[in-house]
Amino acid sequence: MRIGEVATKAGVSVRALRYYEEQSLLVSARGPGGQRRYPDTAVERVRLIQSLYAAGLASRTILEMLPCLDSGKVTPALRELLASERDRIDRQVTKLLSARDRLDDVIATADLPGPGCTHTDG
C-alpha cells in the first residue's frame, strides 16, 4: 500500500506516518522511484499506535511494547512498564475527575452569583 492509502484508511496524516517511521514504530519498503510501500497490516498498526498515543504513552514506550505485542509474549520488564503507565493514567484520571467536580460546583452556582461575581445572560 502507498503512504496516502494507509493514511486515508487509518485516518491519520501522511506526516504522522513519516513520524512513526522516524520513531521506528512503522516500517515501509521503498519501491521503484523511492516511494514508500507498506504491508497490508500497516493500517491496523497505525490504529494501534494512535490508541497508545491517545492513552498518553510516549514513542519510546510504544517502541518497547511493539515486539511483545507482535509476538504475544509480555516480558516481566514490559509488564512493569505497562503497570507504571497504568498508574500514571490513573493519577491523571483522578486529577481530571477533581477538575470536573470543581466545574460542577461552579456550574451549580452559576445562576446565583456571589459578591464580586458578575453574571450576564447570553
The per-residue pLDDT for 119 is 57
Residue 118 has pLDDT above 80, yes or no: no
* Burial classification of residue 9, based on how many CB atoms lie within 10 Å of its CB (0-12 exposed, 13-18 middle, 19 or more buried): middle
pLDDT of residue 27: 93
For the stretch 19-30, what's the b/e string if a residue is b when 16 or more beta carbons lie within 10 angstroms of its beta carbon?
Answer: ebeeeebbebee
pTM of the model: 0.72
pLDDT in tens, 3-60: 999 999 999 999 999 999 999 999 999 888 888 999 999 999 999 999 999 988 999 9
